[in-house]
Structure formats: C-alpha cells, structure tokens
Structure 1
Amino acid sequence: MKTLSKYIITTILGTALFTASCKKDFLAQQPESGLLGANFWKTESDLKQGVVGSYRSLRDLGLFSYWMFGEMRSDNTSFQYNAPQRGQENRELVDQFLVTSANTLIQDFWQQSYTGISRCNDVLNNVDRIQMSDESKNQAIGEVKLLRAFHYFNLVRQFGGVPLRLEVTNSPDDAKSKGRASVEEVYNQILADLTDAETKLPASYGSADKGRVTSGTANAILGEVYMTQKKFPEALAALRKVTGYNLMPSYADIFIPANKNNQESIFEIQYLGSVPDLASNFMYQFAPFNSGTVVTQDLGTNLSFSSGWNTPTDDLMSAYETGDKRRNTSLAEGFNATTGFVAAPYIKKYNHGFIQPGQTNVNFPIIRYADVMLEIAECLNESGFSANGEAFNLLNSVRTRAGLSPKTAGNPVAALNVNSQEAFREAIARERKVELAFENHRWYDLLRTGKAIPVMLDHGKREVAKNKDLYPASSYQITENKLLLPIPQREVTLDNLAQNPQ
C-alpha cells in the first residue's frame, strides 16, 4: 500500500509539473493529433508509475460506479427516498430498472472502465521500450493484463458485447473502435489476459507492495469467469490454485482499516485517507441523509442528496439467521436521534471513522478467500451432490466463523438439512448473499445462476408495496432485455455502436 500510494502521489505531482512547464512553451506545441505519451516512457520508474496509474482507475470506479451497478441493481440494496431534494433521480432509476441510454451514470461507468483499459494498453505498448529485468517486466505485464481483464469482465456482464480496445490511441483517427465485439470474443480476450497474467505474477509481495494483484488474484477471477460460462471443471481447477490465503478469525476484523490487505484479502481497491484525492468516502454515501452527524460522527461534513444510497433492503435483512455475527458488522436498521429511533437502514461495514472531514481510510474488497471457498463448494456441487463431503466442509467453515451451526445432509433441524444438489445450491446462494453483502457480488451471482429475473421481480413487488406513490410506473419490471444496461447514447452516436434492445 505504501509503495502504491507513493507512486500515485508522484504521478499526480508529475502531471502538475508537466502542465506548468507546458504553459511556458505554449508557442512551441506539438500537433494535437499526435499525443506525447511516448516521451514519458524512458525508465523503470516511469513504467512503475504507469502501472500504478492503471490501478488508479479502480479508485475512481470504486467510489461510485462499482457499487451503483454491482450492488444496487440487486435485491440486497436500494436507496433512501429523499423527498426534500429531488436531484438524484438518475441513481434511483438504476435501482428501479428504468435507466435509459441518456443516463449520465452509465456514461461515467463506461468511460471510467475504458480509461482504465487505456492505461493498461499504454503500459503494454511501452514496456518493451524500457531496460529492466525480465522479472520486473513480466510483473508489470501481468498486473495490467489482469486489470484490463477485470474491466472487460465487468463490462461484458453489464453491457454484453463491447468494443475490444487493445491498442493505444495515438491520434483522433484511432479513436473509433471496430464496433462491438461478440460476447464470446470479449470472454476469449479476458481468458487470454488472465491466463497470461497468472504465469507472470508473483504469488505474494513484501509488506511494502501489499495491495498489488497476484497470481492468486488472476486465478480467483479466472474461476469466476469460468463459472459465469458454466465451465465448472475449469473453474474448479483455477480456484484450487488460489492458495496462501486463510479466513480471518473474526468477520468484523476484515474491514478495519488497520487490517487492510489481510490474510483473507485477494483483491481490494486501495484508498489512502490522509490524501484528499486518494481517500474513500463510503461512510458518507451510505449514511442516511437525515442522520446528521450521528452515523458519521463527523461534525465538519453535512449530509445531503449524496447520502442515503446503497441502503440494505428488507430482503437482505431477513436473510440473516438468528445469531449471525455478520449482521451487526454489516448493517444497522437505523439510528438514534434526539426524537428517538429512526428506522433508516444503512451499511456499517465501511464505517470506521474519518481521517479528515469527508475523507476515510477504508479499502473496498473485491475478492476475499471466503468468496473463493464458497465458489469451490459451488463447483463441487455442480459436478455432483456429495452428502457431507468437501463442499459442506467449505460452506460450514464460513458459517462457523459467523457463529452459525453447520448445515448437513440428514440434519434433524429442518433449516439446517441440505439433502440434494438443488438444496445445496440454495444454501450457497443464501450464504453468499449475507457473507459478501455490499461487496458487489449479489447482482453478478443472480445473473450467472439465472435467478435475476424471478428474484428481482419478487423483490420489486415488495419494494413497491411499501409505498406505491414513490415509484414510477413500470418500476422493477425486469425482462431479459433489462438484464443488460443500454449502451451510453454518446457512444452509440460517436462510435456508431449498435444499441442493446430495451
């Protein structure tokens, strides 16, 4: 983390100095049709800054787009209706499945993803220009290929086939894509990048470089990609290679900033609370907008329409079993005001105080070892139900940490009895729902298991029934077409891309 943060700060300062020097020589400018990036790539230090710049794109996504489209489209979270301030309907429409191609949030998500891809391409295009050891070169290639694959994996699940941009854009003539690649072509590129990354990345780093992706990260993403494609034997083989990680003894300790990049962490977005441009702010966005300073304890930051998002739903809160330790760590049902208790659920998982007003030091988890354990269990079950076999052991390891009794085949307690392949599928889905709540897995789990439409239709009925007057007509009317986001209209127009049917 220290090394990543150091290089990001250096990159920011370098950009500022470059901009200032340009002002002095504004009469001696290069043609705008030719970019100056190639002049930057000269030393190994330059390359390291370029790699860290590729990670930086994750920070931008993580602050908003990542959870907006990864969690709020699921039955886990919704939003707190803000009657006094009606300036954020675009966010509400994402949750209600009423989003259109003109929604600026979709454009932001698309652009942030392709900015990350572009930075990865820059590194790959220039890595051979620099004299350095093969080990360092391979690591750089592995890191950015993994990050590029991660962006495309998110894009293909949200939009379907998307343009495959694998080369650097050196001039305006290069800006237009070749059009939307097929879903199969995008997945082939993802698999190629991850497979190469897995061979080039180290299994671990020293303490100064914690937070960088590893071969374990590559295999963990590979496993999920194969599971999404229903290739369970290949998925299991990849997930079995994710070694060197262990569950943290306490679920609550996973998310404490002092435990960043812990023994359970496989991939997380890095934030640094002491630097404004590098800090996180989840606590503020997820706090009820009417909670004042009760939830954040930050007297210097006022909450408004930027708060009250990604709020836990009744569906999620009812999914926790009695005695589940994860519930109190993950969420609260409301807050205590001077007038009494206010029933406004919010996420607690990322609420660990602030460094400066408005700035927190909390990372965002992308992959934890508990996720991998449950995926292995799912793959084993898909190859054939085995009563009380290895898949049960993995499932129950996660449950035991949460303070819950094991689920077994033939258990005399009906709620703990799992006696078929389908029953085990349901047990895994429920466990993932609560174990990984607010970590952006639920929507993608619903998609890959084919449960998105029935689950979200039922969820929508319950949401609308609570207050019909708050929801536009056709809210939560999910169809097959609604499973994909529309391509941003700007991209359709400028890049002549075919639109997804809505």
Structure 2
Amino acid sequence: MKKILIYPALLLSMLLFSCENFLEVESFDRVSDENTIFDKSSAETAVRGAYRSLASLNYSSGFQNTILQAGGDVRSLNNAQTDLNIINYSLRSDIGFLSTYWANFYNTINRANHVIDKVPAVTDVKLTADLKNQLLGEAYFIRAYSYFDLGRIFGNVPIYLTPTKVVADKLGVPKSSQAEVYAQALADLNKAETLLPATVVRHRATKFTVYALRARLNLYLNNYEQAENDANSVLANTSYQLVKPFSLAAGTPESVLEFSYSVTDLNTGYGLWNTSNRQLEPKAVIHNLLNDPTVGGDRKILSVPNAAGQFIGGIYPTNTSAAYGIRTAELYLIRAEARAKKLDPDLTGALSDLNAIRARANVPNSTVANPEEIILAIENERRVEFALEPHRWFDIVRTGRAPAVFNLNDPNKYIFPIPAGEILADPTLAQNPGYGN
C-alpha cells in the first residue's frame, strides 16, 4: 500500500481520517486515503473521498462556529477565550482551530490533486472517457472550492497543484497573494466547466454547480457582468427555482450544491444548535429580524424561542440534515447585486431579483429606488436569508463595509493569521501582516 503524506508536519494527524461511503453511491466501508488510484472503482472512491473531506471537514461545526460568530449575529454559549478572540477580532496564530482549518483545506486539496494527477493515466476499460472527464472535473471543482475558501479566510497562502507524497515536497513554497489564489480557483472552475456534464445533481459538481460557484467568485472579484452571466446560466434551468413557502433547501430546486450526511456519517453542525450542550444561538437582533413579518416572514423557522426564552437555531433539524454549499436563493441575490453594481446598472432587474426572494419568504416587496438603497437592501436581505449560514462575515469584508458594520478598521484583520505551527514547520512561510509570528 502506497502511503500519501499530507502537507506539513502539523498536518500528519489528518492521515488518521478515512473516508466513508458518500451520499447515494455504492457502499465502501472506511476506504483509506492511502489507496492508490489504478482502476474505475478506485478512481470513483478517491473522488468520493475528496467530497467527504469537503463536507465533513471544511463544513464541520468548528468552521461554521468561527465564521458565524465573526459575522456578529450569532453568539457562543461557551464564553471560551477563543470565542472572545473571534468576536473581538483579536485572533492569534497559536489558536488551535486555525491549524485544523488549514489542515482540512489542504487535505481536501491533496485528495483532489491525487485525482487530477493519477486518473488520466488509468487504463481500465470500465473507466470510459466521459466518466474520466467527469471525475477530473469534480476534482478541479473541489480544488477550486477549497482554494476559494482558503483565500477568503487566510488571504495569502501557498498554492499546490501536485500531490504531496512526502512532507519535503511542499516545504519552501512561498505564499501566493489572495488575488493569485482567487485566480487559481477561477482557472480550476474554467477547467472543470470543460469536463463536467450539463446535468442536475444536487450533491455533486456539474456544469451548473461550476456556474454557481463561479458567480460567487466573480462577485468577490468585482466582475459583475461575469457574475450576472454565470447566475443566468443556472437560473435559466427550471431545475433551479425558488420554492414557496420558504423551507430548508435539501433535495429541492432551491438546492444547487448540498453536502449530505447519514446515520454513519453525521452532520457535526447539528451539535452547534440542537443538543443539550449546544454551542450557538442566534442573537436577539437576528431573531427579531427573522420573526418580523415584514423582514423575515416565513424564515422565522430559522430562530425559534424555547420555553426558557432562549433562541434555538433551526438550520439543522436532525443530525443527518444536509449542509448547504450553494442555494438557488444565493444566485438570485448574486445576480441582484451584480446588476446593481455593474458599469451599466440594471436597477429594475436587481429589484426584481431582490423581490423574488422576499416574495418567496412571504415578505412585502421592497420599494427602494436608487443604487445605494438597492445595494444596502440586498446586503440586508442576505443577512436574513443566510442568517445561520457562514456568509455574513465574508459579505461585509468583501464589500468594504467592515468599518461601518463591525467597527473594524484594521484591514489586516480581514483575513486570519497563518497557524503558528505551519510557520514552525516551514520557516520560509511568512506570517500575514499584523499578526507577528
């Protein structure tokens, strides 16, 4: 059995993870990451492992906990020092969860890199050209998704496009700028588009999933025309629609990409909201917005008071509930923002998209008229629509509104510090500005 080591020394513990059966596919019992790719079955297993890594690690409870608290509308019930570091925007490079996120992202990227590196050479006649292209396209998509999130969390990070076989493979690689990381994600999405089928599958990547993630990325890049075009490419397909009344999106036309779980592969995010030891609750401000019939409307199901007067987040009703990677509602709001901000604004179209989201939630139409009011209305709609999903921190930072909304004037704090353990493992890796070592 050929061993595959994961990026720097700190990440070697990730080898203890194995991937289990994923979604609606034939069962594989705890397939090891160390399995090489040599035929159709092992190639498919490797891709499922990359999806599992994306779902179980990058969308684990810890990642959501951090980003939701940073967004200001969700509070921790633990009052731990690390929670205070998050809400006070005073992260330190030695905080453990930063190392976990870093390791998770690069573990996922490494899995994708193995697929990209090895699948083209597989000669199994059962691995047809179309299936080979699909698996490669999915790997490029997964890598793009991971680099996009790495870029918006840590900003300036190393880019690795080949598998890690020994730790020394990745030592001494300089960081790329956030712009370069986003450019790599965009290049991977463009490559994935050429390989993936134009089918509708809600738990795996297709051309439509590529269009959706690329629309999001183009919004971050201020490429508004391209963001609108990509959103159009998804919303022109009637398989992606808003469903009234508002409900959680899994398995419906409201879902573009979802991460599914089962009794043998639980959604760890459930524990954030629903158990006796729950870690998070919506703050009063977002609870009140969600329960205002003129603002939240039917989205009030996302924050429900219990008998003790506490607010219970309703994003994951069970421990096998899906996590939402991309929802159709986001495509409407991406297109609305792009239409309002592009060089030749389409304010009528922007308002139409905004009101489509409001109508689906049984909320009165917005009547704002000028560009600034429409853009703010879209920001506020995103706040409510994605109240318990990890969007608001990124939305406020990417739009330059952190000083006004978070009273956060230090741009160095808009990205997180590189984990201290990574710099100890590779002294050539420079810390992000403002965080020392």
Q: Normalization by structure 2: what TM-score?
A: 0.87
2:360 pairs with one of 393, 401, 404: 401
Q: Which residue of 1 aligns with 2:317?
A: 351
Alignment partners' CA distance in 2, 1:377 and 1:228: 14
Alignment partners' CA distance in 2, 1:168 and 1:76: 39
Deviation digits for residues 349-406 of structure 1, max 9, x if unmatched?
2124xxxxxxx2101112111110111111111124555x222221111111111111
Question: CA, structure 1 residues 269+453, in 2 after alignment: closer, same or farther (shift >3 Å)?
Answer: farther
Structure 2 residue 262 is the aligned partner of structure 1 residue 279: no
Alignment partners' CA distance in 1, 2:99 and 2:26: 25
Alignment partners' CA distance in 2, 1:426 and 1:247: 22
Q: CA deviation at 1:282?
A: 2.9
Q: Which residue of 2 aligns with 1:48?
A: 44
Which structure 2 residues correspond to residues 58-457 of structure 1 after superposition, within 5 A? 58=54, 59-81=56-78, 88-131=80-123, 132-205=127-200, 210-242=202-234, 243-244=236-237, 245-252=240-247, 254-255=248-249, 260-272=250-262, 274-275=263-264, 278-287=265-274, 296=275, 303-304=276-277, 307-309=278-280, 311-320=281-290, 321-323=292-294, 324-332=296-304, 334-336=305-307, 342-352=308-318, 360-383=319-342, 384-386=344-346, 389-408=348-367, 418-457=368-407
SS of the residue aligned with 2:28?
helix
Contact 2:244 2:361 in 1 (8 A): no
Alignment partners' CA distance in 2, 1:78 and 1:478: 22
Contact 1:326 1:435 in 2 (8 A): no
Deviation digits for residues 281-333 of structure 1, max 9, x if unmatched?
4333224xxxxxxxx5xxxxxx34xx222x2123323434435333421112x
CA RMSD of aligned residues (A): 2.2
Question: CA, structure 1 residues 220+5, in 2 after alignment: closer, same or farther (shift >3 Å)?
Answer: closer
Alignment partners' CA distance in 2, 1:91 and 1:143: 35
Alignment partners' CA distance in 2, 1:227 and 1:493: 35
Alignment partners' CA distance in 1, 2:98 and 2:59: 14
SS of the residue aligned with 1:72?
helix
Q: Which residue of 2 aligns with 1:29?
A: none
* Equivalent residues, number: 404
User: % of aligned pairs identical?
Assistant: 27
Deviation digits for residues 21-80 of structure 1, max 9, x if unmatched?
xxxxxxxxxxxxxxx75xx22210100000000001121221223312332210221212
Question: CA, structure 1 residues 5+380, in 2 after alignment: closer, same or farther (shift >3 Å)?
Answer: closer
Alignment partners' CA distance in 2, 1:8 and 1:440: 31
Question: CA, structure 1 residues 372+400, in 2 after alignment: closer, same or farther (shift >3 Å)?
Answer: same
Deviation digits for residues 87-109 of structure 1, max 9, x if unmatched?
x4324422331220000001001
Alignment partners' CA distance in 2, 1:8 and 1:172: 33
Deviation digits for residues 258-303 of structure 1, max 9, x if unmatched?
xx3321111112211x21xx1114333224xxxxxxxx5xxxxxx3
Alignment partners' CA distance in 1, 2:382 and 2:69: 16
Q: Which residue of 1 aligns with 2:12?
A: none
Deviation digits for residues 204-241 of structure 1, max 9, x if unmatched?
25xxx651112111111111111111111122122221
Deviation digits for residues 425-468 of structure 1, max 9, x if unmatched?
011111111012112111111111111232012xxxxxxxxxxx
SS of the residue aligned with 1:204?
coil
Q: Which residue of 2 aligns with 1:339?
A: none
1:489 pairs with one of 397, 420, 436: 420
> Relative to structure 2, which stretch is displaced further, 398-407 or 242-251?
242-251
Q: Which residue of 1 aligns with 2:9?
A: none
Question: CA, structure 1 residues 376+487, in 2 after alignment: closer, same or farther (shift >3 Å)?
Answer: same
Q: CA deviation at 1:7?
A: 5.3
Contact 1:11 1:49 in 2 (8 A): no
Counterpart of 2:279 in structure 1: which amino acid? G
Query: Any stretches of 5+ residues in structure 2 without a counterpart?
Result: 1-19
Question: CA, structure 1 residues 11+127, in 2 after alignment: closer, same or farther (shift >3 Å)?
Answer: farther
Deviation digits for residues 100-149 of structure 1, max 9, x if unmatched?
00000010011001100000001111101213222111111111111111
Deviation digits for residues 179-227 of structure 1, max 9, x if unmatched?
201222212211110011122112225xxx6511121111111111111
Question: CA, structure 1 residues 109+138, in 2 after alignment: closer, same or farther (shift >3 Å)?
Answer: same
Question: CA, structure 1 residues 326+281, in 2 after alignment: closer, same or farther (shift >3 Å)?
Answer: farther
Contact 2:60 2:268 in 1 (8 A): yes
Contact 1:247 1:370 in 2 (8 A): yes
Q: Normalization by structure 1: what TM-score?
A: 0.76
Question: CA, structure 1 residues 210+420, in 2 after alignment: closer, same or farther (shift >3 Å)?
Answer: closer
> Relative to structure 2, which stretch is displaced further, 127-136 or 61-70?
61-70
Q: CA deviation at 1:3?
A: 7.8
SS of the residue aligned with 1:241?
helix
Contact 2:23 2:203 in 1 (8 A): no
Q: Which residue of 2 aligns with 1:4?
A: 22
Contact 2:258 2:325 in 1 (8 A): yes
Contact 2:259 2:322 in 1 (8 A): yes
Alignment partners' CA distance in 2, 1:126 and 1:226: 30
Counterpart of 2:360 in structure 1: which amino acid? R
Counterpart of 1:350 in structure 2: which amino acid? Y
Counterpart of 1:317 in structure 2: which amino acid? H
User: Larger Rg: 1 or 2?
Assistant: 1
Alignment partners' CA distance in 2, 1:95 and 1:55: 30
